[in-house]
Structure 1
Amino acid sequence: MADITVTTSPERSANPLLVWAIAVAIPLMLLVPALWNGYPLLQSDTGGYLARWYEGYLVPSRSTVFGLYLHYGENSYFWLNLAIQALATMWILQLTLRVFGLARPWRLFGLCLVLSLATALPWLASMLLTDIFAGLSVLSLFILVLHGDKVSRNEKIALFFFTAFAAATHSATMAVLLGLCIVAWIARPFLRKRIKASSLLQGTLTIAAGAVMLVSANYALSGQVAWTPGGFSIAFARMLQDGIVTRYLNDHCATHQFKLCPYRNQLPETADDFLWSRESVFNDLGRFAGMSDEMGYIAAHALTEYPLWQAKEALMDTGEQLLDVATGENTDHPSLMHTYGIFREFVRSNLKPVDAARQQVGHLTFGPFNLVHVPVALISSALVFALLIIAIWRRRADDVTLLMATVCLTLLGNAVICGVISGPHDRYGSRLVWITTLAVMIAAMKRTPREDETPRENGTRDPSRTA
């Protein structure tokens, strides 16, 4: 029997009214949580970013670039920020479908509908937080590096600056993107036909541009040519949660006069309680300004003194982070007190809609949503890893396989970076895991014959369609 190959018929022009209807419906769909809330969703970290414009100094893990982005949306009650996030999401998803040859308005609508119902995506797009840019930047880097020849010059420029901006909004996002570029450079000798040096260089330069953007914003707001602080301090808090700090203090307080020595038997059990609780020894000792040097010293020396313990905890934290994917961490009313305080001090023009929002009057709960989001995320993650293993076993290096590899590396890199440094949190998993569901859906569409494809007999088979 002759082999079958698949050819794609020319693109049929879509109904303009349908295109416009979908172009309006998708952003509204992505912003349903904010529209229901009556105001953009807030998170416990939102205030820390927003305050960067007003306070004029650097705070650990609070990007000044994202702070400026929020500041310019104040007069619109931050709906401008949400509009940018929703439109950027639709744009990146549309480009992703296009580079896979799946560009159809109804496909884009269906994809967004599934992601909106089954994943955290609309909650991320509706929130004043960096998290929406984490997953989108992975997709934009993927398109720029591996499919740059399928988008226009203007789109490549837009992708470049979007990826650079996303990298500058959060150090973990920048680290994940940098890790993907490093792996791509390592893999390039084996995948020269798939990874062009020029495209990979462009992708790598987005990280450099993001770094320049961040340092420039830090200087503009604080007068310091400096990176956003907090690396060792955040790692210290994770070691405290794992019990390593208490052990180090017990071993060394007899010979060292650490500020924490008198409190070593009263330290909080979790990193969040130590760093962010109102009643904490950390506050009593001057917070980051008073404790950064000591925390950095202890964190660095604890790494060398307890290497096996550190390795064990790092492995366990990485595994736990892969499983922590629930939506909505730290968006409940009690956890938002710091953010409310920032609004009351600096953004009083927004107080009336903030106070009237459902989130502030206790109507927001994520339990029912996570009955769907968590199993979908975990099943999608398992399927992505399984599809990659099968592709490697069959020595297949098509576009779908490269997408699976990118997504798997992203999940692993994110789990290591966030789990080991900050400790496992649902927020760190939730902001990225939705791309696994997207990848599974693309794989299903690519492996299934489509209505716009017609089989014809031939003596060869399209490698990308080979089972």
Structure 2
Amino acid sequence: MRLITTLLSLTLALAALLAPAIWNGFPITFHDTGGYFARLYEDAPGDGRATPYGVFIEGLHLGLQFWPAIVVQGLIVIVLIRELGRSTLALEGPRLAFFTGATTVLLALATGISWYSAQLLPDILAPCAVLAAFLLIDGRHERGLWGQAGLVAMVALGAATHTGTVALLLGLLLASVLAVLAARLFKGGAAWRLGAGRRLGLIGAGLVIGALSVPVSNYALYGQFRFTPGGDVFLFGRLVQDGIASRYLKDHCPDPTIKLCDHQAELYEEDGTLRSNDSFLWWQGSPLYKIGGWESAGPELSRITWESVRDYPLMHLQAAWTSFTQQLGEISSGDGLNDEHWHTRWMFDQYHPEDLDAFAHARQRGGKIPFAEFDQIHIPVGFASMALLPLIAVFFWYRGEGRTARLAAFVLVALIGNAAICGILSNPHDRYQSRLMWLATLTCAVAATRLAMARRITLDHQQANSYWPVGR
């Protein structure tokens, strides 16, 4: 019976996480999908496309249109939710199976999690790495060697597949170190601090392994020991959008050492508005490509960026704050999923022509996924869940249930840190923040379950100690 319950829970949870792809008739794709699986077929690292994720999904193609890749992504999510139930709620057996299945289905209905788990993009691995990091620093002591190794591998996989995830995990590691130090001030923190150095070391090991796998894989495939290129160009795109780049060129041009001086006017659209980040980075008529493209223009754009920080610190601070607050509030689902994805289509035609027909006839190509309707649920649930995090942290701290309190605090720091990293270093987009929002809702589900368990224990205790006079 226990095995049947577990299998049923796993099946329902996995079906919920793969539902968008099942409806679509093909794994959900994005503009960047082709750039990832093309890594094994091209002769240089891709701009902003981490090679390890390309290896991950291409290795799980298996002649099955990448379905094994999204199945593995879904299983990773399920295993982490299950481990959270075991570690934070001390659930076992049928109760743990029910919690895992019911919570996963709830998340699929109330958040955008399934649109990321069923998608050929590393976005789902960022929140999974965050959750794995929490389980390492605050998990159960009974976890065996293989369990610890699996969580370290999950942290490493997240770090390997996106530079932004590396920055987020590094920030969470530093925040955890500060939390361990601060715990010295509280008598109740003594037990949690025990062995904290080793647990922090495991997170650090996963982070280092994941980060180093990028240059190692680039060397193995292309003979170039380097990290994913394009970070300086991504950052400069935001400077174009914020007007800092045009201000710098106005003050420093003409300058024969700055090629972009010849294209000052092209940082504006025809209607006189500043060119957007996306327009500067991806439109082939952009001045970026006129000065040599991503690789050749990188050193010049990096120079302008750092000199502009020196010359206009207040402009940078104001732009950074605006981008951070904007990113914190952009949590809509389906960002870019209703678009044509012509680049990914071209990549399928080049490297997986056997899958092109299925890709072309997927329902996603019709561009009619009703994300506006989905967001009538996803957005209020996301904001409500995020708003509850500090309340959960404080409430459970005073109840003496530190693990639930620390989960809420950890997820809140992750959401704030992610908004700062993605908003400031790239450009605000809904998918950057919405991919993590299910962690907030998951935390609320854990808190609600904990309260329900406490109430059940109280009722059972009262019933066991009640007295009924005989004969009445």
1:346 deviation in Å?
1.6
| Corresponding position: 1:443 with 2:447 | yes
Q: How does 1:12-161 map to 2 (within 5 A)?
A: 15-74=2-61, 75-100=63-88, 101-103=90-92, 104=95, 105-161=97-153
Q: How far apart, CA to CA, are the structure 2 residues paired with 1:340 and 1:59?
A: 17
Aligned to 2:235: 235
Aligned to 1:201: 201
Q: How does 1:323-338 map to 2 (within 5 A)?
A: 323-334=329-340, 336-338=341-343
Q: How far apart, CA to CA, are the structure 1 residues paired with 2:337 and 2:292?
A: 27
**Runs (5+) with no aligned partner, structure 1:** 1-13, 458-467
1:230 deviation in Å?
2.0
Query: CA contact under 8 A between 1:168 and 1:210: conserved in structure 2?
Result: yes
Change in Cα spacing, 1:113 to 1:205, as seen in structure 2 (3 Å) is same
Letter in structure 1 aligned against 2:70: L
Aligned to 2:468: none
Q: How far apart, CA to CA, are the structure 1 residues paired with 2:3 and 2:296?
A: 61
Letter in structure 2 aligned against 1:82: I
Query: CA contact under 8 A between 2:348 and 2:355: conserved in structure 1?
Result: yes
Q: How far apart, CA to CA, are the structure 2 residues paired with 1:391 and 1:270?
A: 44
* Percent identity between the two aligned chains: 32
Q: How far apart, CA to CA, are the structure 2 residues paired with 1:438 and 1:46?
A: 27
| Corresponding position: 1:298 with 2:286 | no
Q: How does 1:173-212 map to 2 (within 5 A)?
A: 173-191=165-183, 192-195=190-193, 196-212=196-212
Query: CA contact under 8 A between 1:99 and 1:150: conserved in structure 2?
Result: no
Query: CA contact under 8 A between 2:333 and 2:378: conserved in structure 1?
Result: yes
1:405 deviation in Å?
1.2
Q: How far apart, CA to CA, are the structure 1 residues paired with 2:77 and 2:17?
A: 9
Aligned to 1:219: 219
Query: CA contact under 8 A between 2:233 and 2:301: conserved in structure 1?
Result: yes
Letter in structure 2 aligned against 1:194: W
1:326 deviation in Å?
0.8
Q: Which of 346, 351, 365 in structure 2 is aligned with 1:346?
A: 351
Aligned to 2:437: 433
Aligned to 1:379: 384
1:379 deviation in Å?
1.2
TM norm structure 2: 0.89
- The count of aligned residue pairs is 442
Q: How far apart, CA to CA, are the structure 1 residues paired with 2:24 and 2:150?
A: 31
Aligned to 2:366: 361
Aligned to 1:312: 318
Query: CA contact under 8 A between 1:63 and 1:214: conserved in structure 2?
Result: yes
Change in Cα spacing, 1:15 to 1:130, as seen in structure 2 (3 Å) is same
Change in Cα spacing, 1:262 to 1:188, as seen in structure 2 (3 Å) is same
Q: How far apart, CA to CA, are the structure 2 residues paired with 1:73 and 1:354?
A: 17
Q: Which of 262, 281, 284 in structure 2 is aligned with 1:278?
A: 284
Query: CA contact under 8 A between 1:240 and 1:246: conserved in structure 2?
Result: yes
Change in Cα spacing, 1:260 to 1:232, as seen in structure 2 (3 Å) is same
TM norm structure 1: 0.90
Aligned to 1:249: 249
Q: Equivalent residue of 2:120, what SS? A: coil
1:129 deviation in Å?
0.3
Aligned to 1:421: 425
Q: How far apart, CA to CA, are the structure 1 residues paired with 2:9 and 2:128?
A: 20
1:319 deviation in Å?
0.9
Letter in structure 1 aligned against 2:45: L
* 1:431-462 superposed Cα distances (whole Å, 9 cap, x missing partner): 111100001111121123458635548xxxxx
* 1:227-254 superposed Cα distances (whole Å, 9 cap, x missing partner): 1122221111111111100100111113
* 1:13-46 superposed Cα distances (whole Å, 9 cap, x missing partner): x643222212212111110000000000000111
Change in Cα spacing, 1:214 to 1:452, as seen in structure 2 (3 Å) is farther
Q: How far apart, CA to CA, are the structure 2 residues paired with 1:221 and 1:414?
A: 30
Q: How far apart, CA to CA, are the structure 2 residues paired with 1:224 and 1:276?
A: 25
Change in Cα spacing, 1:219 to 1:177, as seen in structure 2 (3 Å) is same
Query: CA contact under 8 A between 2:331 and 2:431: conserved in structure 1?
Result: yes
Q: How far apart, CA to CA, are the structure 2 residues paired with 1:247 and 1:442?
A: 49
* 1:271-309 superposed Cα distances (whole Å, 9 cap, x missing partner): 111101233222333311231111111111111111011
Query: CA contact under 8 A between 2:116 and 2:435: conserved in structure 1?
Result: yes
Q: How far apart, CA to CA, are the structure 1 residues paired with 2:401 and 2:177?
A: 16
Letter in structure 2 aligned against 1:17: I
Query: CA contact under 8 A between 1:165 and 1:213: conserved in structure 2?
Result: no
Aligned to 2:470: none
Q: How far apart, CA to CA, are the structure 1 residues paired with 2:311 and 2:41?
A: 41
Change in Cα spacing, 1:113 to 1:58, as seen in structure 2 (3 Å) is same
Letter in structure 2 aligned against 1:98: R
- Structure with the larger RCO, 1 or 2 (CA within 8 Å, 6+ apart): 1
Query: CA contact under 8 A between 1:145 and 1:200: conserved in structure 2?
Result: yes
Q: Which of 137, 158, 161 in structure 2 is aligned with 1:169?
A: 161
Q: How far apart, CA to CA, are the structure 2 residues paired with 1:150 and 1:356?
A: 49
Q: Equivalent residue of 1:360, what SS? A: helix
Change in Cα spacing, 1:262 to 1:166, as seen in structure 2 (3 Å) is same
Letter in structure 1 aligned against 2:51: T
Q: How far apart, CA to CA, are the structure 2 residues paired with 1:430 and 1:23?
A: 24
Aligned to 1:3: none
Query: CA contact under 8 A between 1:324 and 1:426: conserved in structure 2?
Result: yes
Q: How far apart, CA to CA, are the structure 2 residues paired with 1:237 and 1:362?
A: 27
1:377 deviation in Å?
0.8
Q: How far apart, CA to CA, are the structure 2 residues paired with 1:207 and 1:188?
A: 19
Q: How far apart, CA to CA, are the structure 1 residues paired with 2:145 and 2:302?
A: 45
**Runs (5+) with no aligned partner, structure 2:** 184-189, 269-274, 463-472
| Corresponding position: 1:411 with 2:401 | no
Provide the aligned C-alpha RMSD in A.
1.9
Aligned to 2:467: none
1:165 deviation in Å?
1.2
